[in-house]
Amino acid sequence: MKRPLAALFFILVACHKPEPPALPRPSILLVTLDTTRADAIGPEQHNVETPNFNAIAKDARRFLQAYVAVPQTLPSHTSMLTGLYPAGHGLHENGRYLSPSQPLLAERLHAAGYRTAAFVSAFALARRFGLARGFDLYDDAMPEPANERSAKETTDRTLAYLAKASPQPLFLWVHYYDPHFPYEPPEPYRSRYASKPYFGEIAAMDEQLGRLVAAFRRRFGANAAIVIAGDHGEGLGDHGEAQHGNLMYQSTMHVPLLIAGAGVTPGVVNEPVSTRRVYHTVADWAGLDATSSLRRADREVVAAEAMKPFLDYGWQPQAMAIEGTTKAIRAGRIEVYDIAADPGESHDLAATANLSRGIRTTLRDYPVPSPDAAAAALPPNVSEEERRMLASLGYVASSTKPLVRADAPRPADMTHLFAIEDEAAQLFVREQYAKAIPLLERILAEDKFNLDAALRLGTCYSMLGRDANALPAYEKALSIAPQSLDVKQYLGLHYARGSQWPRAVPLLEQVVAESPDRVAALEGLALVRERQGRLDDAVSLRQRIFALRTPAPAELARLGELAMRIGNTQAAIAAFEKAGPGHDLELGVLYLAANRYEEARAALDRVPPASAAYPMALFKRAQVSVLLHEPDQASRIEAARQHADATTRELIARERLFR
């Protein structure tokens, strides 16, 4: 009889702590506000009017010291949807891919019987980056070429969905992107906030937030639970940072956070909390698990990271810890601030501060990500077009593994390069090489170990055909990181472009052998194999590439031609079938070769009379007609004769099937 006693004891102990009351399962609305500083929204602000947020805040539990896990859109949302810091979920930057093995909040709620829907407003959160798992509906349709949509558009779509929603409990995530740069609020906010358009975007977003929350409450009444969180703030020039992602000061780390509705005790919380606890709070509402829910006032040491400058440029990795009113940032050396007395973080207290054990161990133990793993965590099937879409949003994650060194610069000391780095990266991805060159030269002059800049500089010169400038840039890259596979890859691609292409072979072979999924190296090697006349290799390399990224129709057609030339009928058929319309002659010929006469007939019948390929199509069609014993085979042969050109005339004359 020991077990019941033990169970009773366990229950008594558990009951000893005051638990929030059990609830009927509410419908849950999660609203994430992109690029929204804590001091840019709410009843205390003088810069901006946010009446809707303020009204929701009145009967909400509001966290005045809420911190994001990382100041970038995709990893920050990933922390809210996994409950983990980036060190736990492995996604540190935009443009990367969440491992499919990482459980997501929507999956848990879906499994628990919730309907699940998400409406996001920027390509940075598109389905392909891995957050859509578990959602019945994941609306990431973006208008082109903007790749983002306004809070108004997103709200319109969400309200249309809510109007049709069934009474089943719903988990709804809505993401607003408006305050992200560039700041272009709609009227009347454009005029009202003409001198501070960032705040105009916040005010415009607030209007839509009001519509959304009102509609959700109308639909679910008292059984509605709401959480609103910022995904990061915006530098607006504080500490030399215009936007976000490179530093860890309050302007970008400190965000609005509130919970309201079902079972929430209204009030204001001054203890620091992490927005990753959005995950635990939603799970709590759904009756799954109350651990770490924001409905409870657990004191915690809040951690965070900003690894983009480390992963992209090799600068110092950055981690942060906050407990009470003390905030410490480790970036090489440690900075310490009293965020209550000095929210602008202008007095570094590191020399005199006596840090708590919690802060010290958090900073000491926070893991620095492996550049290998981070560089490998690219979404599958990213096309060149999508890379440009990411670039248009200002997200250009480097694919180069940085040089890691103890005396790397601190990001806070490199603020003069932030804008130049961003602009150079965008110009590079948009293939504006001549414009990128002076920026990359300047970056390298001021940041001598920036491997990414050296490789991009070499590539700019290479793409412009300026080999005499390209080689010194690649030599510089080699001197920075002699063993780097990235350097071998870029140099190999440089040679593959020019007359010295045989020198590319050993370089690219080594890269592909050591890192088999590097698309760029595989592409370079495929071209070189074609030049070497090794078409079998060229075909199988292209097949590997297209398994890793989505090919363009013209690329599939090229693969089809190569496969045809080496007589690989199956590969050729597969490629042309996927390449879309315009390849009916090729398909007809290939189906015929594969004895698939019915399909050959259908394909050849689709070749239009105006096509230059029409005589050949008629000749092949006549062959098929004979092989299928069609009653009109004689007139088919006659038609082929009448429309013959120089090539088919001879073929018809020699064709035994026609005798």
305 binds Zn ion (CB under 5 A): no
122: DSSP letter: B
- Amino acid (1-letter code) at residue 586: E
Q: Give the three-state DSSP class for 225.
A: strand
Residue 331: partners with Cβ closer than 8 Å, 6 or more residues away? 248, 316, 317, 318, 410, 411, 412
Query: E-strand spans in 316-356?
Result: 319-323, 326-331, 333-338
| Distance of alpha carbon 478 from alpha carbon 476, whole angstroms | 5
Q: Which is closer to Zn ion, CB of 231 or CB of 323?
A: 231
- Least Cα distance to 400 among 461, 318, 457 occurs for 457
Min separation Cβ 179 and Zn ion, Å: 9
Is the CB of 207 or the CB of 231 nearer to Zn ion?
231
Q: Which is nearer to Zn ion, 30 or 590 (CB)?
A: 30
Closest CA to 136 of 160, 111, 115: 115
Neighbouring CB atoms inside 10 A of 498's CB total: 13
Residue 89 beta carbon to Zn ion: minimum distance, rounded to whole angstroms: 16
Residue among 123 and 576 whose Cβ is closer to Zn ion: 123
Interface residue with Zn ion among 207, 231, 234, 452 (CB under 5 A) is 231
**CB 394, min distance to Zn ion, A:** 10
Minimum Å gap between C-beta 553 and Zn ion is 34
Number of residues that bind Zn ion (CB under 5 A): 3
Pairing of strands 27-33, 224-230: parallel
Cα 326 from Cα 324, distance rounded (Å): 6
- Which is nearer to Zn ion, 73 or 158 (by Cβ)? 73
Range 67-86, binding Zn ion (CB under 5 A): 73
Dihedral angle computed from the Cα positions of residues 83, 88, 91 and 93, in that order, rounded to the nearest 10 degrees:
90
Shortest gap between Cβ of 79 and Zn ion (angstroms)?
12
Residue type, position 226, single letter? I
Place of tokens 């207290």: 349
**Residue with smaller CB distance to Zn ion, 73 or 399:** 73
Region from 65-73, 265-273, 528-536, 560-568 binding Zn ion, contact rule CB under 5 A: 65-73
d(CA 104, CA 113): 15
Distance, CA of 295 to CA of 568 (rounded, Å): 63
Closer Cβ to Zn ion, 34 or 486, answer by number: 34
Q: Between 200 and 458, whose beta carbon lies closer to Zn ion?
A: 200
**Which residue's CB comes closest to Zn ion?**
73
| Between 179 and 411, CB nearer to Zn ion | 179
Q: What's the rounded Cα separation, in Å, for the pair 348 and 380?
A: 43
Q: How far is the CB of 277 from Zn ion (least distance, A)?
A: 18
Shortest Cβ 36–Zn ion spacing (Å)? 9
Q: Binding segment for Zn ion among 211-219, 227-235, 341-349, 421-429 (CB under 5 A)?
A: 227-235
Q: Which stretch binds Zn ion (CB under 5 A): 45-53, 226-234, 377-385, 578-586?
A: 226-234
CB 74 to Zn ion: min, Å: 8
Site for Zn ion in 27-56 (CB under 5 A): 34
As measured in angstroms, the least distance from the Cβ of 502 to Zn ion is 47
Supply the minimum distance, in Å, between the C-beta of residue 35 and Zn ion: 5
Contact track, Zn ion, 181-220, x by CB under 5 A? ----------------------------------------
Residue 94 CB, nearest distance to Zn ion (Å)? 8
Q: What is the DSSP letter of 276?
A: G
Query: Which range, of 206-214, 224-232, 444-452, 490-498, touches Zn ion by CB under 5 A?
Result: 224-232
Q: Which amino acid is at 547?
A: A
- With respect to Zn ion, which residue has the nearer C-beta, 120 or 644? 120
Residue closer to Zn ion (CB basis): 243 or 484: 243
Helix axes 633-642, 646-654, angle to 10 degrees: 140
Three-class DSSP labels, 424-471? HHHHHHCCCHHHHHHHHHHHHHHCCCCHHHHHHHHHHHHHCCCHHHHH
Nearest approach, Cβ of residue 72 and Zn ion (Å) = 7
Instruction: From 66-74, 320-328, 479-487, 566-574, give the range in contact with Zn ion by CB under 5 A.
Output: 66-74
User: Within positions 121 to 140, which residues make up the interface with Zn ion, using CB under 5 A?
Assistant: none
| Smallest distance from Zn ion to CB 8, Å | 48
Length of the chain: 659
Q: 94 or 318, CB closer to Zn ion?
A: 94
The phi, psi pair for 518, rounded to 5°, reads -80, 105
What is the per-residue binding string for Zn ion in 105-124, x denoting contact by CB under 5 A?
--------------------
Instruction: Identify which range of 26-34, 265-273, 441-449, 461-469 contacts Zn ion by CB under 5 A.
Output: 26-34
Stretch in the footprint of Zn ion (CB under 5 A) among 154-162, 223-231, 276-284, 350-358: 223-231
DSSP assignment of 395-428 equals -----SPPPP-TTPPPGGG-HHHHHHHHHHHHHH
Write down the least CB distance from residue 142 to Zn ion, Å.
15
User: Does residue 53 contact residue 206 with C-beta atoms inside 8 Å?
Assistant: yes
Place of tokens 């370079």: 524
For residue 502 the two structure tokens come to: 């045989």
Exposure string over 610-633, b if 16+ CB within 10 A, otherwise e: eeebbbbbbbbbbbbbbeeebeeb
Contact 112, 392 (CB under 8 A): no
Nearer to Zn ion, 343 or 394 (CB): 394
Nearer Cβ to Zn ion (233/615): 233
* Residues between 454 and 493 with contacts to Zn ion, criterion CB under 5 A: none
Binding site for Zn ion (CB under 5 A): 34, 73, 231
